[in-house]
Amino acid sequence: MQSLRRAYTLAELIIVIAILGLAGALLVPRLINADTFTVQAAVRSVIADITFAQTDALAMQKVRRFQFLRDENDRIHGYAILAPSNPDLYDGPFDLETAEYLDHPSAIGTGGNFIVDFDFQDRFAGVEITEVSFDGNDWVAFDALGGPLRGGAMPLAGGGEIRMRGASGSYLIRLSGFTGKITVERIDE
């Protein structure tokens, strides 16, 4: 008796792959909103860069300041990491032109300065930083031990918050006082 081997023909495989591809093309856009990824990427970027500023302060044993950028209408459109040469002056007024930025050689269009501007980065299109408060400031600094500072070389005891919004939702980033621990949660606004 001869045993028959049953295999799928090329035509059958192509039909199955086409059906799966069509189902995926129809269902995936309904299940996944591209804006969700955009706002989450922006939130992750802010968290990663705050953590980087904190870690760089610890590694280099120098003060680092995480400064949010405002336009002439007081709208927050990005942030920068500053590396003041005189650590005693880290809490002075911010001037976009004269600030001492942390070097970021791979940054495009910033002259090597660590600046992230949501207005000029397509990956953050439609995402807003709606509110920032670190004991009333729109910046937070980190000391040589990575601890958060407010003005006057005082620890940031009360912590701080950053609120971000995209079309698919809003997020609240919290920075704990003293420890600098970062948490994030989705919020309804």
Residue 22 lies in a domain: no
Range of the domain at 129: 35-187
Residue 8 lies in a domain: no
Residue 100 lies in a domain: yes
Q: Which of 84, 53, 86, 79 is nearest to 137 (CA)?
A: 79
- pLDDT tens for residues 13-43? 899 899 988 887 877 666 566 567 789 999 9
Residue 83 lies in a domain: yes
Residue 10 lies in a domain: no
State the pLDDT at residue 172: 97
Q: Within 13 Å of residue 39, how many CA atoms lie on the same side as its CB? A: 25
Q: How many domains does the chain have?
A: 1
Residue 21 lies in a domain: no
Residue 5 lies in a domain: no
- Amino acid in the structure at residue 74: D
CATH code, domain carrying 119: 3.55.40.10
Q: What pTM did the predictor assign?
A: 0.81
Instruction: Give the contacts of 67 (CB within 8 A, at least 6 positions apart).
Output: 79, 80, 81, 82, 94, 99, 138, 139
Residue 7 lies in a domain: no
The secondary structure of 98-141 as a DSSP string is T--BPB-TT-SSSTTB-EEEGGG-GGGTT-EEEEEEETTBSEEE
- pLDDT tens for residues 53-107? 999 999 999 999 999 999 999 999 999 999 999 988 899 999 999 999 999 877 6
Provide the strand spans (E) within 9-157.
Answer: 64-70, 76-82, 115-117, 128-134, 139-142, 148-149
